[in-house]
Structure 1
Amino acid sequence: MSLLFEEIDSQASPLGEICLRRRRIPALGERDIYEVKLGDEFLMSSMFVEAEEALATLGLATVEGEDLRVVVGGLGLGYTAVAALRDARIAELLVVDALETVIGWHRDELVPLGKILNADPRNRYVHGSFFNLATQPNSGFDPDSAEKKFDAILLDIDHSPSEYLHAANAGFYSSEKLSLMAAQLKPAGVFAMWSQNLPEESFEALLGTVFAEVNSHVISFYNPFLGGESTNSVYVCVKGAP
C-alpha cells in the first residue's frame, strides 16, 4: 500500500463490487481525497462536492415553513445530507441508500462525514431502493410511518436523467413514476435532483408535466485535472396545490 493510496474497504453488492478508497495527490497538498467506485466506474470523489451541496441548499431554499421532513436519495459520501442538516428548520432527515455497505461506511465512520451524520439525532439511514420507495406512496419512504408526507425530496443517484447507475432506474423518469413520488410531497413540496450534465430540455419538459414550477441551475466548480471550470446541474421543482 502506498502512502498516497489506500483501499479502505471493498465488498460485493447487488450492483457489483463497490470500494471505498483514500488517496493524496501531491500537487493538491496535504488533503485526503475519498473516492467511491462501483466496478470500474467512479461514483463519487470528495474533490468535487459543490453540486452535491448545492442540491441541498438550492432545494431547501425553495421550501417554506419550519419543522421540515426531508428525504435524501443516495448517501454517497454524505455531502448532500450534511449540507441539508445545516438548515436549522429540518426536524427529520431520511437518507435512503440501496447499498448497505455505503450505510455501513458512515455508521462505522470510515468516511469523514459519518461522524457528523451519526451525531445528529435528526438523521436516520434507510436501507432500500429509493426508486421502489418513491413509487409506492401507500407505504412510502419511512418504514416506521406509512404514507408520511415530506417537505422536500433531494435525489442524487443516477449520473443524469438519461444516464443511469443501473438500467432498471430508467423507468423512474416518466410522468407516471414522478407523479407517484410527488404524491409523497406536501402541497408546495420540493423535488430537487442532481445531474452531472447541463440541464436537458426534454427532462425539464417531463418535470413540467408533474410539477407546477421547474427551475434548473448550473453549478460551476474548479477542476484541477482540467485546469479550468467544470459544471453540473441541479433541477428544482415545486409541487402545485391539490
Structure 2
Amino acid sequence: MTAMQDGLNGAPEVAEIARAESERGEVVLRRRVNEQAAEVLELRVNGVFVMDTLETGTEIELAAAALELVPDPRDVVVGGLGLGFTTQRVLADPRVEKVMVVEIEDALIGWMRDGTVPHGPALLADQRVRVVNADIQMAIAEARSTYDLVLLDVDNGPGYLVHADNERVYQEAFLARCRELLNPGGVLVVWSAAAAPELLAAMRAVFDDAEEQEHAVLLQDRPETYFLYVAR
C-alpha cells in the first residue's frame, strides 16, 4: 500500500498533501480521486470536513445571493478564505472594487499563494483582493471602513462548531457590529451546515429583514442540505 490508498473495493484514493499545526489544532489538505477519476481537494480542520473542490455550490451562492441584492457592491468583506470559491465569485462581478478576505489560518493563505491549491495564485493575484490573517471577530471589531457586503463562512455554523470561540460570530453582539459596518442597503450573509433557528432569530433582532435559504447539495455522493442566512 502506498501513501495513497489503492482504491480497492470502490474506496476513493486519498492522499494528504499539506498539513499545518496552530494553537487551534491541525489544518489538513487532502487529495482524493472520485469515482469519475477526477482529483478533488478536500480541507479538514481538526479532523472535521470543512469543504472540497467538488461541491462548491453554496460557497458560490453565498456571494451570488448577496450580490443580487445590492445595486452597487463596491466594497466586500469575506470572512473565511477556505478554498477561495466565495471570493472567486465576488471577483467575477465587475462592480466589485475591493475585497477584504479575513482568514485566521496562515497556512491556508500560504497554500493558496504558493499553488498547493492550484487555482489559488491567480485568485489572490487579483489587485482588488487584500488578505488579512486574523480572527474575523477581531477584524470586524477593529474595522474602520464601511462595506456593501459582509459574507461569513468561518465555521460549520452554530450547531457544528469546529472552534468553540466562533460561537460569538452567530450571536447578536457580533451581528450588530456587522450591521454598523454596512453601508445603507448593505447585506450580511452567513453560511451554515445545518438549520440554525437561533441564528435567524438573532439576525432578525438586529436587522430590519432576515431570511433563511435552503440549498440541496450532493456531498461525496450523499444528499445534504446547507443553509444561507441573509440579512439586509
- Under a length normalisation based on structure 1, what TM-score does the superposition of the two structures give? 0.86
1:77 counterpart letter in structure 2? L
In structure 2, the residue corresponding to 1:233 is in which secondary structure? Answer: strand
Whole-angstrom CA distance in 2 between matches of 1:24 and 1:16: 26
- 1:162 to 1:6, Cα distance in 2 relative to 1, 3 A: closer
Matched, 1:230 2:220: no
Q: Look up the match of 1:168.
A: 165
* TM-aligned CA deviation for residue 121 of structure 1: 1.2
How do 1:1-242 and structure 2 match up within 5 A? 1-2=3-4, 4-25=13-34, 27=35, 29-65=36-72, 68-134=74-140, 136=141, 139-140=142-143, 147-198=144-195, 200-223=196-219, 225-226=221-222, 229-238=223-232
- The answer to whether the 8 Å contact 2:200/2:210 transfers is yes
- The answer to whether the 8 Å contact 2:171/2:199 transfers is no
- Residues 131-150 of structure 1 show CA distances to partners (whole Å, capped at 9, x for unaligned) of 1222x2xx31xxxxxx1101
* Aligned residues with identical type, % of pairs: 31
Whole-angstrom CA distance in 2 between matches of 1:171 and 1:234: 18
- The answer to whether the 8 Å contact 1:82/1:113 transfers is no
- The answer to whether the 8 Å contact 2:212/2:228 transfers is yes
* TM-aligned CA deviation for residue 204 of structure 1: 1.5
Aligned length, in residue pairs: 223
* TM-aligned CA deviation for residue 109 of structure 1: 1.5
* TM-aligned CA deviation for residue 89 of structure 1: 0.7
Q: Look up the match of 2:9.
A: none
- The answer to whether the 8 Å contact 1:79/1:113 transfers is no
In structure 2, the residue corresponding to 1:52 is in which secondary structure? Answer: helix
Whole-angstrom CA distance in 1 between matches of 2:168 and 2:132: 22
* TM-aligned CA deviation for residue 234 of structure 1: 0.8
* TM-aligned CA deviation for residue 224 of structure 1: 5.1
Whole-angstrom CA distance in 2 between matches of 1:20 and 1:222: 20
- Under a length normalisation based on structure 2, what TM-score does the superposition of the two structures give? 0.90
1:176 counterpart letter in structure 2? A
- Residues 48-101 of structure 1 show CA distances to partners (whole Å, capped at 9, x for unaligned) of 2111111010011111225x1001000111111111111111101111100100
- 1:191 to 1:10, Cα distance in 2 relative to 1, 3 A: same
Deviating more after overlay: 10-19 vs 173-182:
173-182
Provide structure 1 residue ranges, at least 5 long, that are not aligned to the other structure: 141-146
| Structural RMSD (CA) | 1.6
Whole-angstrom CA distance in 2 between matches of 1:223 and 1:167: 24
Whole-angstrom CA distance in 1 between matches of 2:171 and 2:30: 35
